[in-house]
A and B are shown apart, each in its own frame.
Chain A
Amino acid sequence: MLKMFDYLLGMFSNDLAIDLGTANTLVYLKGKGIVVREPSVVAVQKMPNGQQKVLKVGMEAKQMLGRTPGSITAIRPMKDGVIADFDITEEMLRYFIHKVHNRKTLVRPRIVICVPSGITQVEKRAVKESAESAGAREVYLIEEPMAAAIGAGLPITEASGNMIVDIGGGTTEVAVISLAGIVYAQSTRMGGDKMDEAIVQYIRKKYNLQIGERWAEKIKIEIGEAYPGTETLEMDVKGRDLVSGIPKTIKVNSDEIREALKEAVNAIVDTVRICLEKTPPELAADIVDQGIFLAGGGALLRNLDLLLREVTKVPVLIAENPLDCVCLGSGLVLDELDLLRRVAITS
């Protein structure tokens, strides 16, 4: 009976694919493409009775980061690619599901959710239950590197080896995919957030200047680089002087930011190198021919491809839409149910 009810409601719902990332959440609506692209941030007000009330989700909540009064906190419910706060994640998912269905109340969509490849059974279960509680009729989990590879247009169903490096906000996933399966995957809890933190620490240490995460992200996007380029870029950075306590503006250049990002970038390069070493020679030979594909926001870090090429001696290519690859890939499998069943993981 319940199944029939689900089926009926399902007829009025649209299938969704969600890239539940540490930094951003993207939602793909079947037949329409990516319709939501918002930060994974939720603004929560603490009530006198101890309960939490969700005030804003996404972009509006992110704008409240660091500008909230004591009773309101902006929370990032995802940490290192996995759910850190079960209830808040559920609220966030509910918000996104209703947003793409134009706030209709009775919706029971089929949802594909991407998860990092190294997560535990408990973490998988948490994602699945969150989505079910948020109103999903059926939940399929697919691993992020697999979704990224599909989104990047790699021939994943063929026997040849394809290597994808998905540098997200919380994790970097390196995977070798062949015959619609992940042959080898290596995950490191290093991503865009750790790079931002590294920039904050570097500027604090070198200039005694306290800057926020948003500034750090801006610096990373504007002048951050992994490998020396042809020109040195500069930008003004505003923050609070730690000695005098007054606002101050300084100039930083790309060489300094490269130095700040060195550790984070090296961790990513090491993960790729280890993955290549542990890949059977037959597949490694295919990767040498076809190249390594970079996806995720971290792929946009200037000259990261050059550095990887220098270290691995393998061609490195950046996917067409690195930020959208994972979501596009998981959305594409919504149209091909056979492929979805092949690539979906069991929880």
Chain B
Amino acid sequence: MTSPTIDILVPVWNNPFETRACLAALLAHSPEARLIIVDNGSSRETELMLEEFSESMGEQGLFIKSERNVGLVAAINLGLAHSDSDYTVVVRPHVSVHSGWLETLVRVAETTGAGIVSPLFRGVDAPKIPEPAPVCTVMESCTVSFATLLLRTEMRRAVGLFDETLDGDQWCLREYTRRVAAVGYRTAITGRCSLITASGQQFGSLQRRNEMMQKSRSEYIARWGIIRHYCVYFGPKADAGSVSETIATILNGARQGHRFTLLLHRRQYSAFRKMGWHGLHTGIELLPLAFLFPLRDLARKFSALRAASPDMLTVRGCSETSLPGIDAAISCDELFNSFMPAPLQPQILSGALP
């Protein structure tokens, strides 16, 4: 079996010293990959540095120049349009890579079949990526970052490019992962690779950024529907075997960007963990209830969740389940109808379990 071909795409705008350090690290730690450098309207100093750098790379590098700064997402799309390898890894210049980083990301993509793989990030102002559950090294997620992102080319051909009209940040990525999920690919994060990031630049006034975020959010909702937070309670009698179909529905919902908080009795919590359901998706959180007076704890936890997320919907995990003091709960069937048909059994990403 031949090893997959890889392109590393680096969108560059100024910061010549930081960019040089990043490119040098990429060359040193991923010599087998081809570098695609997109100069997004940089200053002369950066331009000269990139030209000098590209000259020494020969066939291993592709230098694309945009005279105008077209924005981050458009620059990434420009680079992606020139990438024809099996995988393309987007790396922003403020990220510092280390030895083995690329092999780890590619191995995760190969073993799990994921369409998108993101590492974790460390450092001040590092992108906030939810970490995989303890003891899980790979987990599905809807939250990734442009800082570093592995994209499977096969998937990219089916999904297309990033939407340049959105905010160039979370909503753009969320919309992309949603499209990725719609064509049957997963988005994964891996704890096996953790990269150090310097402070990334955020441009524009806070007001404008908020306006753009609101606009992008509305656009997302118009395309894919509202994103909800669901609180699920199965009742004290339900066991793992009887709710596996519901868990599959929940996983399907999480892949669509929804968030789920499962309030579980101690026994259920242990059983769910044993089944590996704590590592299904970063959008699914298992919350154990207190051993003593669980119903009182249920009410307390429910109130806290409601306070944090007023639009949260409550789901009765089983038809006979009653939620003491909690009205307007929807049933699992209604939840099932909200999402697209789910697989019968929840599938955990290979390698997600220890």
Q: Scan residues 36-91 of chain B and give those whose CB is less than 8 A from a CB of chain A.
A: 41-43, 67-72
Count of A-B contacts with CB under 8 A?
57
Tell yes or no: A283 within 8 A of B by CB.
yes
Tell yes or no: B209 within 8 A of A by CB.
yes
A160 to chain B: which residues have CB within 8 Å?
A: 204-208
B284 CB → nearest A CB, Å: 34
A159 to chain B: which residues have CB within 8 Å?
A: 202-206, 209
Tell yes or no: A335 within 8 A of B by CB.
no
Please tell me if the beta carbons of B42 and A178 are within 8 angstroms of each other in the complex: no
Choose one: A184, A185, A277, A286; the contact of B204 (CB below 8 Å). A286
Among B67, B201, B205, find the residue whose CB has the most chain A CB atoms closer than 10 A: B205
Contact with A along B178-216 (1 / 0, CB 8 A): 000000000000000000000001111111110010000
Please tell me if the beta carbons of A183 and B203 are within 8 angstroms of each other in the complex: yes
A contact patch SS: mixed
Q: Scan residues 274-289 of chain A and give those whose CB is less than 8 A from a CB of chain B.
A: 277-286, 289
B212 to chain A: which residues have CB within 8 Å?
A: 282
Please tell me if the beta carbons of B203 and A184 are within 8 angstroms of each other in the complex: no
How many chain B residues touch the partner (CB < 8 A)? Answer: 22
Q: Which size bracket describes the interface of A in this complex? A: 20 to 34
Tell yes or no: A85 within 8 A of B by CB.
no
Among A158, A185, A186, A281, find the residue whose CB has the most chain B CB atoms closer than 10 A: A281
CA distance A284 to B72 in the complex (A): 14
Tell yes or no: A161 within 8 A of B by CB.
yes
Give the residue name and chain of the B residue nearest to A178 (CB). B203
Give the residue name and chain of the A residue nearest to B70 (CB). A281
Tell yes or no: B137 within 8 A of A by CB.
no
Please tell me if the beta carbons of B208 and A285 are within 8 angstroms of each other in the complex: yes
Contact with B along A308-334 (1 / 0, CB 8 A): 000000000000000000000000000
Please tell me if the beta carbons of B68 and A278 are within 8 angstroms of each other in the complex: yes
Given contacts A277-B69, A280-B71, A282-B209, contact A161 B43 (CB under 8 A): no
Please tell me if the beta carbons of B68 and A280 are within 8 angstroms of each other in the complex: no
Q: Scan residues 221-266 of chain B and give those whose CB is less than 8 A from a CB of chain A.
A: none
Q: Scan residues 295-334 of chain B and give those whose CB is less than 8 A from a CB of chain A.
A: none
Give the residue name and chain of the B residue nearest to A277 (CB). B68
CA distance A289 to B211 in the complex (A): 14
Please tell me if the beta carbons of A282 and B204 are within 8 angstroms of each other in the complex: yes
Please tell me if the beta carbons of A279 and B208 are within 8 angstroms of each other in the complex: no
Interface residues, chain A, with chain B CB atoms under 8 Å away: 158-161, 178, 183-186, 277-286, 289
